Amino acid sequence: MNNWKVFINGIIKENPTFGLLLGMCPTLGTTSSALNGMSMGLATLAVLVFSNFIISLIKDLIPDMVRIPSFIVVIASLVTILQMCLQAYLPSVYSSLGLFIPLIVVNCIILGRAEAFAAKNSPLRSIFDGLGMGLGFTLSLTLLGAVRELLGTGRIFSLTVFPEQYGALIFVLAPGAFIALGFLMAIINKLKKA
């Protein structure tokens, strides 16, 4: 399988949100708006690409007994750097994502890709895998956030589509995340079978 197939696989076939059902905590917690969903997705994408790359470079140096803890140290270091950069340069994104930024460390998408792909493949293939999975996750979160924001407030990326009084507040709240995710998954599964 070439690098482009690895890249496309993460976006469509093995989409972390709609295909593998991974990363549900940030998916449901940060997608009250399209911008929040996209921001969380891009933050995860950055950590995923760099962690895959670094882990694929050092995989032969890590003893099997400390493989998972070593992966977590790499991921935690990258998340700490990301958190400091967001706090310094994008404080509004940092404050809107809040606690979900440090939780990227324990996101099963990142650790799963480190174990299943980066630890077994070359750095270039690992970068493409990280890009594909990260972009698939970003697109999923952005789509879910856009649907919730539109149905809840009548806006997408803060652009008004219809007056807010016609929106259903439930879609901006936690139950709306489950409802919107369920319907989107049903639609995407139907389209995959067609």
Indicate the average pLDDT of the chain.
91
Region 167-186: mean pLDDT is: 92
The DSSP line for 35-84 is HHHHHHHHHHHHHHHHHHHHHHHHGGGS-GGGHHHHHHHHHHHHHHHHHH
Does 1 score more than 60 pLDDT?
no
**In degrees, to the nearest 5, what angle opens at C-alpha 69 toward C-alphas 40 and 24?**
30
**Could you give the percent of the chain with pLDDT greater than 90?**
70
d(CA 183, CA 181): 6
pLDDT computed for residue 57 by the predictor = 96
What pLDDT, on a 0 to 100 scale, did the predictor assign at position 12? 80
Q: Which two tokens stand for residue 182?
A: 């369920």
- Kindly report, residue by residue over 49-89, the tens digit of the pLDDT: 999 999 999 999 999 899 999 999 999 999 999 999 999 99
In three-state form (DSSP H/G/I as H, E/B as E, the rest C), the secondary structure along 172-185 is CCHHHHHHHHHHHH
Please tell me the pTM assigned to this model. Answer: 0.92
Across 106-135, average pLDDT: 92
